[in-house]
Amino acid sequence: MASDCLFCKIIAGDIPSNEVYSDDDVYAFYDINPATPTHVLIIPKKHLTDINEANLEDTALLGKLLLKANEIAASLGLTQDGFRYVINTGKNGGQTVFHLHLHILGGRALGWPPG
């Protein structure tokens, strides 16, 4: 837990969130400012600032993050029409919260390339 991290505070329950899924390793919740009709964030409970901070010791954790995202996407009815996963990283990636998070975006057709 990083004491100055917004998402660590959400995991700890110190800041409220709209939970979608939780287990020992990952936490998923609705984005407070949805960019798409369905917009969920899934995060590791372990504080990692961004994807660059992960290493091979995190292989199982990152695999679980992706596979649980698939389960969540399915549970929210996104699988048939499709969806997008996004991990914004650093300044050019548009990252604003510095605790690794995977965006699950769905519910409408998404444009490409991103802005």
Interface with Zn ion (CB under 5 A): 2, 5, 7-8, 47, 99
Q: What is the DSSP letter of 93?
A: H
Where does residue 97 rank: exposed (0-12), middle (13-18), buried (19+ CB within 10 A)? middle
77 and 71 Cβ atoms separated by less than 8 Å: no
Structure-derived torsion over alpha carbons of residues 82, 78, 104, 74, reported in degrees to the nearest 10: -120
99 binds, among Zn ion, ligand AMP, none (CB under 5 to 8 A by kind): Zn ion
Residue 70 in contact with ligand AMP, rule: CB under 6 A: no
Q: Cα 114 to the chain's mean position, in Å?
A: 18
Q: How far is the CB of 77 from Zn ion (least distance, A)?
A: 29
Tell me whether residue 63 or residue 114 sits nearer to ligand AMP (CB atom). Answer: 114
Residue 96 in contact with ligand AMP, rule: CB under 6 A: yes
Catalytic residues: 101
Q: Which residues bind ligand AMP (CB under 6 A)?
A: 6, 15, 17, 29, 31-33, 41, 88, 94-97
